Homo-oligomer: A and B are copies of this chain.
Amino acid sequence: MERQSTNDGAGTPLSATGRAILGLLGSAPRTGYDIKSAVDGSIRFFWAASYGQIYPELKRLESAGLVRVASAEKGGRRRSVYEITAAGRDALQAWLASDAELTTEMRDEGLLRFFFSDLVDREEALANVRAMRAHHEAMVRRLREIEPKSIQARDAGRRFPYLTLMGGIELHEQRAAWCARMEKELS
């Protein structure tokens, strides 16, 4: 087994979510709140993060010297804007260039139910598949909403977020189509 986290020299190894946050700070300085919005508005379909992870992780990244806090104020209001440091950029690049094992996991309770559907009536199996399809179709709609923003970034020279988004749309379209086929199969 290989090490599962990137560790450059000393200090606590960087967790996968830490890398995600660092990556988002790679393109712009952000507050914890901004990071949560960015996660939800772009990488959420393959990588989620809650405030309960983000704020503590930002502190860990800071004490590891990978980000620095530029405590700005907006109005009279406290606001901590984090930006990536040179060391942070190095760590990020090192991760992106490494050949470490990539975790890929899926947890889909809809498929779990589908798998066990021999135990229930056709109607119940059908209801489950319909719910799955509705979910994937909703995902496609949500992803399409962020398409314009992604196109802007692409035209500004950052094409990967756009390509990733298109991949996500395709993925959920394929899953929705599979559900539709299963609905026919069960009818």
Contact = CB atoms under 8 A, between A and B. Distances in A.
The A contact surface, by secondary structure, is helix
Interface in A1-34: 16, 19-20, 23, 26-27
A171 interface: yes
Interface stretch (A72-80, A115-123, A141-149): A115-123
B110 A104 contact: yes
A87 interface: no
B104 A26 contact: no
Nearest to A173: B174
Contacts of A113: 95-96, 102
A24 to B, nearest CB: 8
A46 interface: yes
Nearest to A131: B102
Contacts of A185: 163
A51 interface: no
Contact of A109 (B102, B107, B114, B125): B102
30 contacts: A16-B107, A16-B109, A27-B118, A42-B115, A43-B111, A43-B112, A45-B106, A46-B107, A46-B108, A47-B107, A47-B109, A47-B111, A93-B119, A93-B120, A96-B116, A102-B132, A103-B107, A103-B108, A104-B110, A104-B135, A105-B105, A105-B107, A106-B106, A111-B164, A115-B161, A118-B157, A125-B160, A167-B182, A170-B178, A171-B174
Interface of A: 16, 19-20, 23, 26-27, 42-43, 45-48, 92-93, 95-97, 99, 102-120, 124-125, 127-128, 131-132, 135, 157-161, 163-164, 167, 170-171, 174-175, 178, 182, 185
